[in-house]
């Protein structure tokens, strides 16, 4: 019988595709086995557990978003950089909703430390370099930006802004305007 050529890498990648197509909660070892036309137990040589598979997808998504972020920030500064980074998250979530949902998975501390999470924090800090903030206000601003990006994308993905005026794209643009204005006029502590 011919072999399917499985590997952790391929399983995680296929899991990510499945997540985007059917939703992250449909990502299951069984479904993946069906997709490869292979018996379920066979996957357990490549993946420790169902949770391990999902974690792999989360790490992949974080990695991919960080790559996009680096590319988007190259050569940009100020509001231009802010908008570019913001759009990385929104676009990625739009194109890969399952992966994006995976990235929101709660990782245990050591996995999180080994993830691309740090790159994301660094990217946001890079954006803030175009504004005039000093510690600890800069960290507060990092957290604000992270909250807005994540919160907006999440609400939009959940359908919160659909089918109601004004268009979500307009709100997004105006929110970026607003954040830019806020960062340029950050209130005194």
Partner DNA sequence: GCCATTTGCCTAAAGGATTTAGGTATGGTC
Partner DNA sequence: GACCATACCTAAATCCTTTAGGCAAATGGC
Q: Name the residues that contact a second copy, by CB under 8 A.
A: 104, 106, 109, 112, 136-137, 139-141, 143-144, 146-152, 154-155, 158-161, 165-166, 168, 170-171, 174-175, 177-178, 180-182, 185-187, 189
Q: Does 22 bind DNA (CB under 7 A)?
A: no
Residue 67 interface partner, choices DNA, a second copy, none, CB cut-off 5-8 Å depending on type? none
# of chain residues touching DNA (CB under 7 A)? 23
What's the token pair of residue 153? 């994308």
Neighbouring residues of 54: CB distance < 8 A, sequence distance ≥ 6: 15, 24, 27, 102, 105
Task: Lay out the site mask for DNA across 26-65 (x = CB under 7 A, - = otherwise).
Answer: --xxxx------xxxxx-xxx-xxxx--------------
Residues engaged in binding DNA (CB under 7 A): 1-7, 28-31, 38-42, 44-46, 48-51
């Amino acid at each position: 019988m011919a072999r399917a050529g499985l590997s952790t890498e391929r399983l995680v990648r296929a899991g990510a595709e499945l997540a985007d197509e059917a939703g992250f909660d449909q990502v299951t070892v069984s479904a993946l086995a069906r997709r490869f036309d292979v018996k379920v137990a066979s996957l357990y040589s490549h993946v420790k557990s169902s949770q391990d598979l999902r974690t792999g997808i989360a790490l992949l998504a974080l990695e991919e978003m960080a790559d996009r972020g680096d590319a988007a920030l190259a050569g940009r500064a100020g509001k231009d950089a802010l908008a570019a980074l913001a759009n990385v998250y929104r676009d990625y979530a739009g194109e890969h909703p399952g992966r994006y949902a995976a990235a929101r998975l709660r990782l245990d501390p050591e996995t999180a430390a080994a993830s691309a999470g740090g790159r994301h924090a660094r990217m946001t800090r890079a954006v803030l370099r175009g504004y005039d903030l000093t510690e600890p206000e800069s960290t507060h601003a990092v957290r604000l930006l992270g909250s807005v990006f994540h919160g907006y994308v999440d609400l939009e993905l959940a359908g919160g802004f659909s089918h109601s005026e004004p268009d979500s794209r307009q709100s997004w643009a105006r929110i970026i305007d607003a954040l830019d204005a806020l960062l340029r006029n950050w209130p005194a502590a």
